[in-house]
Amino acid sequence: MELFTCKDLSLGYGAKEIISGLNFSVNEGEYFGIVGENGAGKSTLIKTLLSLQKPMGGKIIPGKNFCPGSIGYLPQQTPVQKDFPASVEEIVRTGCQRHGHFFICYSKEQKKTAEKAMQDTGILNLAKSCYRELSGGQMQRVLLARALCAAEHALLLDEPVTGLDPQATENMYNLIYELNTRKKKPMTIIMISHDIQGIKKWAHRILHLGNECYIEKGERQ
């Protein structure tokens, strides 16, 4: 079953068109990779999928379980984020703040959701730790747990292994694979990456953005 379908999608910013006539779909339970050079339109596509901007043409046809507000989003980390003075637990819980609602206090259900996300990403033992004192790999797990709090059916991951050492990179790929293949509530994965060889190993299909947009099968296909 298709999670969503992009039909004749044209993307850009201002009056500048970057991509035109883009057609692809993402299936429920799929691990879908998106690659392309800088300026190929990856960030613009992310914003469009999250309904942060409208396409210049064409449309996104939602499937039964697709809603932009229910996608867990892991953005690229910035230096400011890395120095954020909060506990792991506090950061993960902010993932419950979606659909325009912001909370000072969290309900028991939201706290349980955050605890489950930390358990699923292997950082429950770090719940009281200060985020800025963690390693790069641990920080990414915290942000992934935060995204899980908002995810109902899908995770959209923007360069999740950038800046990580080889071991942390492998660990992150393994964790994302586990989330994609778990028996209870498997996650559809949409991953944007510059690591073409790495994503080929894990993805079912890969969308290449550029002068010619095309899809190829990953090694898991």
Q: How far apart are CA 194 and CA 35, in angstroms?
A: 6
User: Quick one: pLDDT at residue 79?
Assistant: 64
Neighbours of 182 (CB within 10 A): 11
| Tokens at 165, concatenated | 């050492």
pLDDT digits (tens, 9 = 90+) for 25-64: 999 999 999 999 888 889 899 999 999 999 999 999 999 8
Q: Please, is 127 exposed, middle or buried when counting C-beta atoms within 10 Å of its C-beta (0-12, 13-18, 19+)?
A: middle
Among residues of the chain, what percentage have pLDDT more than 70? Answer: 94
